[in-house]
Amino acid sequence: MDIESFPLYDIEGDARQCGQQYGRAAGERIDLSLRTYRAAFERVGLSWDRTRALARRFMPVIEAFDAGMLREIEGVAEGAGVPPEDIVALNARSEMLYAFQQLEATEPPDGCTGVVVMPSASREGRLIHAQNWDWRVESLELGIVLRIQPAKGPSMLTFAEAGTLARAGLNSAGIAVTGNFIKADSDGRQQGVPLALIRRGILQSELYANALGVVCRTARSISNNMIVTHAEGEAVSLETCPEQVFWQQPEGGILVHANHFKTPAALARVVDRSLETTPDSLYRDRRVTEALHNRRAEGLLGEQDVLDALQDRFGAPRAVCRSPSAGPGGASSATVATIVMDPAARKMRIAPAPFRAHRFTEYSL
């Protein structure tokens, strides 16, 4: 699976127009996404008919959250020539998969390590926001980059799996977001807005306060850690579970979060089930934090310092930079991409499969 870069698709216009352009341009990858996740749903006991029925239940929730997003999803479906509930299922795949207890027996462990370096600690005086995204190896063939010029609101640049509206990205207002897996015992007990759409809501925000508000006031089905930053020197790690949001801010100009709850309030109030599947999160988080603070003691940090920390191979294959390894059901997981964003310059660089020889491709607004 030799992927040198992820394709870039430019879309513009109102929500339905953006969706139609997206669906037409990325139709082949969307079809591959659907085939990949149809197999994943079947492994947890969900037939495709049942998956579609569950997806339809999310449609009024999405419309109440942001009617434009539902119109865009309908446009993607129209452009790709599939029913709208298929695109909803892709955007709600985490909610629909992780709500099933048998997932751990069939799917590879999720991961991700997020990093922020504040302007005060940065050699260039600009905030650095980066992430290793660990997930199914097949996602290498699903990854895309969308450059979106909506009829209203900020323009957006987002890395995503084909058919979904956002994963990691930034906007023309200087706001950026990444998301990491975490799991609480309360996950799956209520229906909420899919995480992909919450991240898209962050990117649609003109104001940083509004971006944070999208997370804090939106009902969720499952837990997630979202790191939300602003180019002018703001960063917060939001540990979310269905009922609550906990926050962590940078220390010494550095913020790191992997895949377990860290904030004191969360540790006191949440039954953290993340470590059942991602025990490596404990040392990944610590090793990246220590590496960056050690470098910081020698001087200001640059982008390469962050990328070096994200290349750490201790504990391989379950390392910060994860090489392919099989999960319980036989599917393999790995670090699918390293993403590094410069929100002030409105650009991001992405390297597919950083566990082997790789190169970064730059995308900008």
**Tens digit of pLDDT for each residue in 160-170?**
999 999 999 99
Q: β-strands 325-326, 254-257: how paired? A: unpaired
pLDDT at 111 (0 to 100): 79
Q: Two tokens at 106? A: 């069939």
**Pair (19, 124) in one structural domain:** no
For residue 1, being part of any structural domain is answered with no
Q: Name the band, by pLDDT with cuts 50, 70 and 90, for residue 103.
A: very low
Domain assignment present for residue 147? The answer is: yes
Strand (E) positions, 53-181? Answer: 113-117, 128-136, 143-150, 156-161, 168-171, 175-180
236-244, Cβ contacts within 8 angstroms, sequence gap of 24 or more: 236/212, 237/114, 237/262, 238/212, 239/182, 239/263, 239/266, 240/215, 241/182, 241/184, 241/186, 241/187, 241/266, 241/270, 242/184, 242/186, 242/187, 242/189, 242/190, 242/192, 243/186, 244/269, 244/270
- pLDDT at res. 2: 81
Tell me: do 291 and 145 sit in the same domain. yes
Cα dihedral sign, 117-121-124-127: positive
Q: Is residue 26's pLDDT more than 90?
A: yes
Q: Which helix (H) or strand (E) holds 9?
A: strand 8-13
Q: Give the DSSP letter of residue 110.
A: P
Q: Is residue 3 part of a domain?
A: no
Q: Does residue 176 sit in the same domain as residue 317?
A: yes
| pLDDT: which is higher, 106 or 154 | 154
Q: Which has more confidence, 329 or 66? A: 66
- Name the pLDDT band for 298 (thresholds 50, 70, 90): very high
238 and 274 part of one domain? yes
Q: Is 303 in the same domain as 201? A: yes
Give the pLDDT confidence of 262-287 residue by residue, as tens digits.
999 999 999 999 999 899 999 999 99
The total number of structural domains that make up the chain: 2
- Domain shared by 45 and 175, yes or no: no
Cβ(233)–Cβ(116) under 8 Å?
Answer: no
Instruction: Report which residue type is found at 260.
Output: H
Q: Which amino acid is at 329?
A: G
> What whole-number percentage of the chain has pLDDT above 70?
95
Same domain as 136, residue 94: no
Query: What's the sign of the alpha-carbon dihedral 286, 288, 289, 291?
Result: positive
Is residue 115 domain-shared with residue 176, that is, in the same domain?
Answer: yes
Q: Which domain holds residue 85?
A: 8-104
Question: Residue 213's domain is classified under what CATH number?
Answer: 3.60.60.10
Is residue 329 domain-resident?
yes
